[in-house]
Amino acid sequence: MSKLRVAVLGAKGRIGSEAARSVEGADDMELVAALDKDDSLEALTEAGAQVAVDLTHPDSVMGNLEFCVGHGIHGVVGTTGWTDERFGKLRTWLEASPGTGVLVAPNFSIGAVLTMRFARQAARFFESAEVVELHHPNKADAPSGTATRTAQLIAAARAEAGCPAQPDATTSALDGARGADVDGIPVHAVRLRGLLAHQEVLFGDTGETLTIRHDSLHHSSFMPGILLGVRRVTGTPGLTVGLEHFMDLD
């Protein structure tokens, strides 16, 4: 069987360089392009790339995707910075390119995906919920894409179950002391040398708390998820948000 022709965008970056090595090491894939900032996207079509893995920067990802989708190249996207407006644009491009698929995954690590799933399950049983994400200090965005998604999932599960707003008697606070408000869930971002990517989801109710913690200790934690995304996206036209849709969890 012929190998999947895969390109990596952001191939000199922390995660992109690891992804390029993983694609090269996969028996069913061929790394046909490894591009970084200022490289021409035309190299993707010249190389006949079928899938582009984007691990670049929130400022770059939309331009890359407009090109890829416009040329029928499937996308596997780990880059953060997603908003409803950005998803809207991507959907429009995909509608004009039927057959092309894009996976946007806030986190490719299996443990982080499961953390989000468990947090969603737990959300309706506790009065209070907060998210703390901890990352290396070179990270451009805060809060992390994973923490934002986790908070959105918790908030949606609580709304669906008819949970009231959570208690918080704060009437005076320094700016930022209660974190960012993501759909009513406080999200706190720590940036600390020595860390990679970590998250705690805290739930509390009368007399008990539940903490779900996940730690990515090396960029290798994201690789099985990226390779899974590449294998599945070619048969999944349109937009898929979250690796869980490719993990047969239900």
Ligand X SMILES: O=C(O)C1=N[C@H](C(=O)O)C[C@H](O)C1
Q: Which does 37 bind (CB under 5 to 8 A by kind): ligand NDP, ligand X, none?
A: ligand NDP
Binding residues for NADP(+): 37
- In angstroms, what is the minimal distance from the CB of 197 to ligand X? 4
Q: Which of ligand X, ligand NDP, none lies near 135, with the C-beta cut-off 5 to 8 A by kind?
A: ligand X
Determine which residue in the list 74, 135, 188, 232 makes contact with ligand X, applying CB under 6 A: 135
State yes or no: residue 191 binds ligand NDP (CB under 6 A).
Answer: no
User: Which span (55-63, 92-100, 114-122, 137-145) binds ligand X, by CB under 6 A?
Assistant: 137-145
User: Is residue 222 a contact point for ligand NDP (CB under 6 A)?
Assistant: yes
Is 135 one of the catalytic residues?
yes
Report how far apart, in Å, the C-alpha atoms of 213 and of each of 18, 114, 185, 237, 238 are: 24, 10, 17, 33, 32
Which residue's C-beta sits nearest to ligand NDP? 13
Q: What is the largest CA-CA distance in the chain?
A: 64
Report the run of H or E that residue 160 belongs to, with start and end.
helix 145-160
Single out the catalytic residue among 3, 57, 89, 139: 139
Q: 198 catalytic, yes or no? A: no
199 is a contact residue toward ligand NDP (CB under 6 A): no
Query: Binding ligand X by CB under 6 A: which of 21, 86, 124, 139?
Result: 139
Give the integer Cα–Cα distance in Å for 222 and 108.
5
Beta bridge partners of 116: none
Q: Distance between CA 45 and CA 23 in Å, rounded? A: 18
Helix (H) or strand (E) holding 223: helix 223-233
Distance set, CA 192 to CA 64, 105, 198 (Å): 30, 24, 11
Distance in Å from the first CA to the final CA of the chain: 30
Cα(187)–Cα(152) distance, integer angstroms: 10
In the window 12-31, what residues touch ligand NDP (CB under 6 A)? 12-16
Query: To which residue do tokens 């965005």 refer?
Result: 141
| Interface size with ligand NDP, residues (CB under 6 A) | 24
In this complex, which beta carbon is closest to ligand X, that of residue 9 or of residue 197? 197
- Binding residues for ligand NDP, rule: CB under 6 A, are 9-10, 12-16, 35-37, 55-58, 60, 64, 78-80, 105-108, 222
The residues assigned a catalytic role are 135, 139
